[in-house]
Amino acid sequence: MTRQAPFYKTKTLAQMSAAEWESLCDGCGQCCTVSLIDEDDPEGAVLRTCIGCELLDLETVRCTDYASRHERVPSCVKLTPGNVRDLSWMPQTCAYRLIAEGKPLFDWHPLISGRSESVVEAGVSVKGSLVSERDIDEEDFEDYVRG
């Protein structure tokens, strides 16, 4: 009896069902942090902060209004098979990015480990390292850029 290869090894992002697409998210929360553009950099480097989106639950590192996040937070980017390759600010560990680039998922990814906690254990999650956007004045965001 042969085992069938997992969908993320046999399908492109565009071929995945909605459920398969959603299951690629490892829940690290990195893409739900406030990022700034370095206006002094000619290439407009992206600066990551330790500020979580106003909709991010800092305990669970999950969106509190996933279904309406794009309406409530206009800067929230909707990931699609067509734009993942163009989003240079996406984490290098992001499964969407890895699949788009033809790379394998990391062993700590829940689809491989079978455990959501493996993301935290691997040190990839932002859990426990953020402050909420609701608690910071926008003019102070630069003070929270990660070094």
- Domain of 98 in residue numbering reads as 10-144
**pLDDT tens-digit series, residues 99-120:** 999 999 999 999 999 999 999 9
Cα separation, 114 vs 55, in Å, equals: 26
Residue 83 within a domain: yes
Residue 96 within a domain: yes
List the chain residues with pLDDT less than 70. Answer: 1-2
Number of domains in the chain: 1
Q: Which amino acid is at 43?
A: E
Q: What pTM did the predictor assign?
A: 0.88
Cα separation, 59 vs 65, in Å, equals: 15
**pLDDT tens-digit series, residues 120-136:** 999 999 999 999 999 99
Sign of CA dihedral 53, 43, 142, 26: positive
Around Cβ 140, how many Cβ atoms within 10 Å?
A: 9
